[in-house]
Copies of this chain bind each other. A is one copy, B any other.
Amino acid sequence: MNKNKIRPLNLKDVVIGGPFWSHYVEQIRKKVIPYQWDVLNDRVEDAKLSHCIKNFEIAAGKRDGAFYGMVFQDSDLYKWLESVAYTLAVYPDADLERLADDVIALIKAAQQADGYVNTYYTVKERSGRWTNLQHGHELYCAGHLIEAAVAYYNATNKSEILEIAIRFADYIDTVFGLEAGKLKGYPGHQEIELALFKLYEITAERRYLRLAAYFIKQRGQVPNYFDLEAKKPEYKEIFPEITPLARTYSQSHIAPEKQREAVGHAVRAVYMYCAMADLADELDDKDLREALDALYTDITSKQMYVTGAIGSVAWGERFSGAYDLPNDLVYGETCASVGLMMFCRRMNAMYMEADYADTMELALYNTVLAGISLSGTEFYYVNPLQVEPERIKVNPNFSHVKIVRQKWFDCACCPSNLARTVMGLGLYAYGSTTDALYVNLYCAGSAQDGARKLEVETDYPYGNVVKCKVSGGSFKLYLRNPKYAPLKSLTLNGETISPKIEKGYLVLERDWNDDVLTICFDMQPKRIYCANEVQQNIGHVAIMRGPLVYCIEQVDNGPLLGTFRLVDEDPITAVASPKGLSPEAVALRVPAYQYRQVEEALYTKQKSNLVPSQLTLIPYFLWANRGENEMRVFIPSLPRHP
């Protein structure tokens, strides 16, 4: 066990609030969690049918009927429960806890005598258990059950859900492994590996660590298990429309420790990398670490959008190849960026380097938060960087792109994933080692780790000042120096100091006793340029202010956003937020030129005129909150003198 590692704080000891985060925390607590509960119970009109609770009731023998929904429908309930657990950890709520306890009782009633829990295979495909690991999602759902169980136990100290999870995990341990008589398989959708690691951490039972390691190490062995199982007579197709799948889709083409390029279904990939990082650290596995280093570099240097979105390709919800980052065709699933945050948190924990937390912050403030409307009840699954509504309506290549956020999805992974991330944000924001406290995200609120205590006042990422009151005796404080908003000045109890910078952190060590740090970050708007290999962005800029990527919307600037041209080096000014967005949001204004057509014709020898104009930019994650309209992140920029 690696002692030298950043560990998350107990969520009970972290409060996230302030001008920026209170809105989201309140939305999730007061709207999203109740809304999702209504959806799970099929009580929301116009939303896609969930049937999730009914599936459990049928599996528990409490109701007649047929299974309905995706093969992984159960996971929606588990992710809801995980969000509830994170909520209860900070905001005790007897009614909500009672509801959760009832859900747990329902899950228990649906658990089979041998410990197995899965409504699809209990209600619909009774003889199909473990026959289609590639598509069946049983181990995926089991993983989400375990994650919810660990979270709920941590929040409430109630062990019932943990016992359900343990019985299931113990049963799974009897089914899978290299020992004679066991299945040599592994999940089509990774998730259980990182969950088993959490179960290992909370129970200290090494069997779960070994089982997680088995699932990772067995993956991609030759012959491929998915090929073998598909030849068995009991095998039954679940998604014939995507068969046959390349082995890269599920990252089972080669052993994980040999993987160097991020390929396949993006969520599967990053969930697997999470478990690989957990194991690499715990088992001090050099091969896994080498793979992780390469995979992280591949993603961040060749396959990630400027918004922290990953997975360019809708077909297979997957990574494309190096530099294939189309702004309009993009998939960029909200869940994939949640998974990227999870992966980055683990890399940061292992290496204690700020760069991973920079990427985590980028994904959070841009793609993940873009996943939810300001109203809290509409969601994005796909997160484009450029939208032309009229083209999306007519061209089927864009059928995955939604012009406005949706109430719910047939495949409803993203809203619940987003909710658990926001309510569990304390796990991402802070960390500790034996002698240090780490601040990875600047959120107003407080954090405690034993005697060590931080009180944080800030309206970051809109504002550039973070005030921290620190106490708790002698320890090192590691403050991330944000890549996109580096330190401008720092005062300790009013006096300017120059901290040591180590692995991207400002490091401050003293005997803390209600000392006040005032950190001022450079939040000047910046032009961000893309590598020339991403050809459609050559000569374009994305504008960032701190970690926030900005975009232009038609509602502020008029139609045909492609007619605008910035000019290199023109000043970018922070201005008040346009009406209809959060009043505290910071918008930007920049001079621009606009092409005006002279002759109305599809093709003409007559050049358009370039007329002076200006553009208003808003934070990308706030786009599409004011109805259907055009949007783009990358804007062409003219040189002053060609």
Interface residues of A (CB under 8 A from B): 300-302, 304, 306, 312-316, 320-324, 326, 329, 388, 390-391, 393-397, 526-536, 538-539, 542, 560-563, 565, 567-568, 593, 595-597, 600-608, 610, 636, 638-640, 642
CA distance A394 to B639 in the complex (A): 33
When C-beta atoms are compared, the residue in chain B nearest to A538 turns out to be B562
The minimal Cβ–Cβ distance linking A538 to chain B, given in whole angstroms, is 5
Most chain-B CB neighbours within 10 Å: which of A314, A393, A396?
Answer: A396
User: Which chain B residues lie closer than 8 Å to A536 at the CB level?
Assistant: 562
User: Which chain B residues lie closer than 8 Å to A535 at the CB level?
Assistant: 388, 560-563
Partner of A395, one of B300, B304, B320, B607: B320
User: Which chain B residues lie closer than 8 Å to A527 at the CB level?
Assistant: 605, 607
User: Which chain B residues lie closer than 8 Å to A315 at the CB level?
Assistant: 396-397
User: Which chain B residues lie closer than 8 Å to A324 at the CB level?
Assistant: 390-391, 394-395
Partner of A602, one of B329, B531, B606: B531
Partner of A638, one of B388, B538, B605, B638: B638
Judging by beta carbons under 8 Å apart, are B603 and A306 in contact? yes
Judging by beta carbons under 8 Å apart, are B321 and A597 in contact? no
Show 23 A/B contacts (Cβ-Cβ < 8 Å), sorted by A.
A301-B602, A304-B602, A313-B397, A315-B397, A320-B391, A320-B394, A324-B390, A397-B397, A528-B604, A529-B604, A529-B605, A529-B606, A530-B602, A531-B602, A532-B562, A532-B596, A532-B608, A533-B560, A535-B561, A535-B562, A536-B562, A568-B607, A610-B642
When C-beta atoms are compared, the residue in chain B nearest to A386 turns out to be B535
Partner of A329, one of B397, B532, B608: B397
User: Which chain B residues lie closer than 8 Å to A640 at the CB level?
Assistant: 642
The minimal Cβ–Cβ distance linking A164 to chain B, given in whole angstroms, is 41
Question: Are A602 and B568 CB-contacts (below 8 A) given A395-B320, A397-B313, A529-B607?
Answer: no
The minimal Cβ–Cβ distance linking A531 to chain B, given in whole angstroms, is 5
CA distance A610 to B301 in the complex (A): 23
User: Which chain B residues lie closer than 8 Å to A534 at the CB level?
Assistant: 602
User: Which chain B residues lie closer than 8 Å to A608 at the CB level?
Assistant: 529, 532, 538
The minimal Cβ–Cβ distance linking A51 to chain B, given in whole angstroms, is 26
User: Which chain B residues lie closer than 8 Å to A321 at the CB level?
Assistant: 390-391, 393-395
CA distance A597 to B597 in the complex (A): 32
Judging by beta carbons under 8 Å apart, are A595 and B539 in contact? yes
When C-beta atoms are compared, the residue in chain B nearest to A638 turns out to be B642
The minimal Cβ–Cβ distance linking A283 to chain B, given in whole angstroms, is 31
The minimal Cβ–Cβ distance linking A244 to chain B, given in whole angstroms, is 14
When C-beta atoms are compared, the residue in chain B nearest to A566 turns out to be B642
Judging by beta carbons under 8 Å apart, are A312 and B529 in contact? no
CA distance A490 to B321 in the complex (A): 56
CA distance A6 to B10 in the complex (A): 86
Most chain-B CB neighbours within 10 Å: which of A390, A535, A602?
Answer: A602
CA distance A607 to B540 in the complex (A): 10
CA distance A302 to B397 in the complex (A): 19
User: Which chain B residues lie closer than 8 Å to A610 at the CB level?
Assistant: 639, 642
User: Which chain B residues lie closer than 8 Å to A601 at the CB level?
Assistant: 301, 531
Q: List 12 extra interface pairs beyond A313-B395, A329-B329, CB under 8 A.
A: A301-B601, A302-B602, A306-B603, A315-B396, A315-B397, A321-B390, A321-B394, A323-B390, A324-B395, A530-B602, A531-B603, A539-B595
User: Which chain B residues lie closer than 8 Å to A636 at the CB level?
Assistant: 539, 636
Judging by beta carbons under 8 Å apart, are A396 and B313 in contact? yes
User: Which chain B residues lie closer than 8 Å to A595 at the CB level?
Assistant: 532, 538-539
CA distance A315 to B315 in the complex (A): 14
The minimal Cβ–Cβ distance linking A124 to chain B, given in whole angstroms, is 25
CA distance A602 to B596 in the complex (A): 33
The minimal Cβ–Cβ distance linking A136 to chain B, given in whole angstroms, is 25
CA distance A596 to B226 in the complex (A): 46
User: Which chain B residues lie closer than 8 Å to A304 at the CB level?
Assistant: 602
